[in-house]
Structure 1
Amino acid sequence: MHMFFRTLLHVLFLSRRRPDLAHDDVARTNFITLPTDLDINRHMNNGVYFSIMDVARFDMLVRNGVWKTMRDKDWYPVVASETITFRKSLQLWQRFTIESRITGYDDRAVYLEQRYVRPAADGTPEIYAQGFIRARFLRKSGGVVPVSELIEVFGAAGGGGLPEWIERWGADVALPPTRAEAPSIWPSEVEQRA
């Protein structure tokens, strides 16, 4: 529930008071590690990283004008895939910034990079964690908004060109479409059936 209030705080109040962004800009969203973010090891829980990244993406969407256009068109974003790599832990009450940037797109999805950063001893931003998100846009009336339509409305943010490993990752982790079969069979179960 606390993430709901964090999202409302950013989307309804803080994001609207911050400078507008172009689609290619890096959005920087500031946070503090709260007691509700911690796990049994007293550092930020790994699942909370993804939730806070959601809030930072909403901040970016509000500030670059995409959120308003999506609402006008009855579209909404969904995460299709995401991955994160951790480097350093965030402790209670530590301030940190999430840097969010559109990396590019393919024919089915938009890709974003998000970094958790804190100032190093010399003051330069230091990466604590880095995540990559593969997102799609859906219509409230049903169906997917094609990337070609997104480009027509918003332009070609990120230039479209993706690093080869991100394209491969997007394809490798994709599940079958929602209307296709997707049985849960583990490799050991296949061997037992043979």
Structure 2
Amino acid sequence: MNVIWRTLLHLLRARRMSRVGVFDVVTSKFRVLPTDLDINLHMNNGRYLSIADIARFEMLQRTGLWKMLMSRGWYPVVQSSTITHRLSLEPWQKFTIESRIMGFDEKSVYLEHRFVVGGELAARLVLRGRFLKRSGGSVPLAEISEAVGVDVSQHSLPEWVGRWADDVTLPSRRERTPSVWED
């Protein structure tokens, strides 16, 4: 099934589900489809990221953030992500993704997605994202706090997440950044 159809299915289903708080864990149900497989006949490593996108949209819908973002002309983008795999996901296997907002810094929101099979952690994805304005620029933390009705600066990040974010950050797109390999 193409990812766009899967996304629409989850968004429609999320509309009928109960609302949850912005910082609650949101669980999304999935099954490994034949179109998710790689040559080793387990879920392709790139598909984890695509399916996490679907879970994230479902989370935004269920928390009410999607409607709020759209009404203000804001949209989310991923800046960086790291995934660690522990167990393979096999054809037709059911799994869930548990998603939650970890916290914020002055520019970004941090999320965690856990791929879970039978209560066991199969993979974990940590990502850093931002909210951008369709009119241009990024959405400041104060505007996010006001729109959400929660002081998001009070949700501090684990120390390791801040170190990770610093370690994986690339220069601004305004800076010339040639691809030079180090020895």
Structure 1 partner of 2:8? 8
TM-aligned CA deviation for residue 177 of structure 1: 1.4
Partner Cα separation in structure 1 for residue 85 and residue 43 of structure 2: 11
Task: Name the SS of the counterpart of 2:30 in structure 1.
Answer: strand
Amino acid at match of 2:2: H
Structure 1 partner of 2:180? 185
Kindly report which structure 2 residues correspond to 1:111-126, keeping only aligned pairs within 5 A, or say none.
Answer: 111-119=110-118, 125-126=119-120
Task: Name the SS of the counterpart of 2:122 in structure 1.
Answer: strand
CA contact (8 A) 1:110 1:147 kept: no
TM-aligned CA deviation for residue 158 of structure 1: 8.8
In 2 relative to 1, CA 25–18 (structure 1 residues): closer, same or farther, beyond 3 Å?
Answer: same
Partner Cα separation in structure 2 for residue 44 and residue 8 of structure 1: 21
TM-aligned CA deviation for residue 22 of structure 1: 0.5
Structure 2 partner of 1:54? 53
Task: Name the SS of the counterpart of 1:150 in structure 2.
Answer: helix
TM-aligned CA deviation for residue 18 of structure 1: 1.0
Task: Name the SS of the counterpart of 1:187 in structure 2.
Answer: coil
* 5+ long unaligned stretches in structure 1: 120-124, 189-194
> After TM superposition, which residue ranges in structure 1, 4 or more long, deviate above 4 angstroms?
none
Amino acid at match of 1:130: R
RMSD: 1.3
Q: What fraction of aligned residue pairs are identical, expressed as a percent?
A: 51
CA contact (8 A) 2:105 2:153 kept: no
Structure 1 partner of 2:41? 42
The CA deviation string for residues 14-34 of structure 1, in whole angstroms up to 9 with x for no partner, is 110111111111000000100
Task: Select the structure of larger CA radius of gyration.
Answer: 1
The CA deviation string for residues 43-76 of structure 1, in whole angstroms up to 9 with x for no partner, is 0000000000000000000000000011000000
TM-aligned CA deviation for residue 148 of structure 1: 2.1
TM-score, normalising length: structure 2? 0.96
Partner Cα separation in structure 1 for residue 175 and residue 72 of structure 2: 27
Structure 2 partner of 1:109? 108
* 5+ long unaligned stretches in structure 2: none
